Amino acid sequence: MIDALTNVKKKLQDEITTLEHEMNVELPKELMKARAHGDLSENAEYKYAKERQGFVSARLGQLKRRLGDLGMLNLKNIPTDRTGYGSRVWVLDTQKDIEIEYKLVSTEEADVTKGLLSTTSPIGKALLGKNVGDEVTVQTPAGVKEFEIIRLKTIHEDA
């Protein structure tokens, strides 16, 4: 699991590095070039560069906050007796009577097709802090889902 976190942090840092280069090198050049065309009120290149600058700035803020949040994630604080980040959870969909396995992961690692469920998704949030035998009712975009937790393996057991 530590490897997965390291990969996520590296991916975020790589995007930050790329965007910082764009913000500090490429966009200033584009803005200077667009200003050289004259009247800024009807200058599409200038408007685009300014809009892109705003987007890049906002995205950098998001990425840096997320990287900071991940840096504060302490694996020792994750519960050993109930669901938390990194847990494998086997649930019974009580409406369809089928067993589903999920692994609770960060937003960046999430891939529902592989059973990797973000802890910020409706089902992920509902499963956090639960134990075997607990029943969970979740409002999802597809409607209400009902699950019973039938098996659990925490990050500490999986390591």
What residue type is 98 in one-letter code? I
- Sorted by where each starts, the structural domains of the chain and their CATH numbers stand as 2-73 (1.10.287.180), 76-158 (3.10.50.30)
| pLDDT tier for residue 158 given thresholds of 50, 70 and 90 | low
Residue 45 tokens read as 């290149």
Average pLDDT over residues 140-151: 92
Structure tokens belonging to residue 77: 């604080």
Q: pLDDT (tens digit, 9 = 90+) per residue, 90-122?
A: 999 998 999 999 999 888 888 989 999 999 899
Nearest Cα to 60, choosing from 25, 17, 99? 17
pLDDT digit string, tens, across residues 25-75: 999 999 998 888 877 778 888 899 999 999 999 999 998 988 887 776 766
* Separation of alpha carbons 11 and 58, rounded Å: 18
pLDDT computed for residue 78 by the predictor: 73
What is the maximal distance between C-alpha atoms in the chain? 70
Q: Are 87 and 103 in contact (CB under 8 A)?
A: yes
